[in-house]
Structures are given as structure tokens and as C-alpha cells.
A = this chain, B = another copy of it.
Amino acid sequence: MGLRERKKAETRAALSWAAIRLTVERGFDQVKVEDIAEAAGVSPRTFNNYFSSKAEAVVARQFDRYLRIAEALSERPAEPLWDAITHAVLPQFGPDAETAAHPVGDAARWRAGVYAMIAQQPALQGEMLRAGSAAEARIAEAVAERTGTDPAKDLYPHLVAAAVLAAVNTALTHYLRSDPPVPVERLLTEAITRIAAGLPTP
């Protein structure tokens, strides 16, 4: 990867991180594009070369995570579908390099801030769900390959992809709301297991 692409990735990450941090601190519409650009050290105009809206920048991290799920699923060995899905999803929500690079002082406060940000901002909710929807196509493709179905003709792969994302979203929302916090991994596992079991009444 040349210098060019590396710098681009860095700028993108810096913009997204700035957008998230500022939004959690002040609230979504108390942050101007100008602020985000300044925090990332680029011009306001450049911001819109990377993201077509403020909301998109805030959600970029989550979007990348969804894409990694699809990627991981493609690379899983031959195994039962729902095992593969579980193993593709879980690692994406553990501690990663990116998180380590931006330590957060007060974890509880941060969690609450993230929840408020998502819960109270229609624009962010929509963008978050849209990110999932964009990844849906990729995941459906991976599922199709694994099950010998055809995304263009069959409902099945899209249905599985949508169900997986629904499980992930539900688990994450529950996680952000839980007090005291329940481990994400447990919630994700429970959600996926339940879906795979056909959601029988407990």
C-alpha cells in the first residue's frame, strides 16, 4: 500500500474518530462540519470528499465493522452455517487496535454517551441502519456461496443476512442500555443462537 492510500485511510479514520468523539461530547447538532474538519486537520471542503454527510462520518466505524463480518464469513472454513456466522461476528466486537489507539477515560460515561447519541438522533439511527443494509449485500453473498443459493433469485441468503444484522443490532442496543453492563459477547451469542433456533417462545 503506497503512501497515498495510507494517508487517505488515516484521514478517513481521523475524521470519523473526531466526528464520534465530538458528537459524544457535545451532541450531534452542536458539532459543525467545520469542527470535525479542524479536529482532523483538513479543510471543511475535504470532509465532504470523504463522507457525504456528517452522519456517515459518525457511523463509518460501525460500517467498517459490518464489512469485516462479511469478509470473515467468507474466510471461515467449512462448518455449519450458524457456527460460521457466530465466529465471524464475535471477534469484530472485541478489543481492537483502533480502540486501543483512542483510550476512553470513563468507560461507563462513554457507553452512556454513545447510547444517547444513537437514541436521540434520527439522522444517526437511519445512517446506522443504512450501514447495516449496505453490508447486507456482502453478507448475503457470503451466505449464498456457503449454502449454494443465488442472491439474485433466492430469498434465503438475504433473509439470513438481514436476520444476522437484526440480531447484532438488537444485541448492541441492549448492551448500550444494560445497567450494570452485560458483556457484549454474551448478548451477541444469545441473539444469534436464538435466531438460529427459530425464536421459540422462552
A interface, CB within 8 angstroms of B: 52, 81, 122-123, 125-127, 129-130, 132-133, 147, 149, 154-156, 158-160, 162-163, 165-167, 169-171, 173-174, 187, 190-191, 194-199, 201-202
| Chain B residues positioned under 8 Å from A162 (CB to CB) | 166-167, 169-170
The answer to whether B190 and A155 touch across the interface, beta carbons within 8 angstroms, is yes
| Chain B residues positioned under 8 Å from A154 (CB to CB) | 202
The answer to whether B195 and A159 touch across the interface, beta carbons within 8 angstroms, is yes
A158 in contact with B130 given A122-B52, A166-B165, A199-B196 (CB within 8 Å): no
Q: Closest CB of chain B to A21's CB: distance in Å?
A: 23
The answer to whether B81 and A147 touch across the interface, beta carbons within 8 angstroms, is no
